[in-house]
Amino acid sequence: MPFCFVPRKYRNQPGDLTVWLGANNRAIAEVTRKVISVKEVQSHEHHVWFESNDIAILQVRKI
C-alpha cells in the first residue's frame, strides 16, 4: 500500500509541511496522521509505482 511519508522532525508537530507520496516498502503498515495544513505534495524521490493497484488518498477539509 502507498503511504504518506512525514519527516521525523515534523511528527507530532502539526503545521505546514511537505507530503511525499510513494511506496518504498509495501510491507510497512500505513500511518494515519492529522495534518493542520499541507505546504505542498510531491512524488517521493525514490518511489516505486505499482500501477495496477496504487492509490493515495489525501483528505482535505476547510476548517
Please check whether residue 13 is in contact with residue 35, taking contact to mean a CB–CB distance below 8 angstroms.
no
Check residue 46 and give its pLDDT. Answer: 62
Give mean pLDDT in consecutive 10-residue pieces for the chain, a chain of 63 residues. Answer: 48 55 57 61 60 53 51
Model pTM greater than 0.75? Answer: no
Return d(Cα 7, Cα 60) in angstroms, integer. Answer: 20
| Structural contact between residues 58 and 29, judged by C-beta atoms closer than 8 angstroms | no
- pLDDT at residue 3 in the model: 46
Compute the distance between CA of residue 20 and CA of residue 34 in angstroms, rounded to an integer: 15
Kindly state the cell numbers that stand for 11: 511528527
Helix (H) or strand (E) holding 59: none
Are 47 and 23 within 8 A, CB to CB?
yes
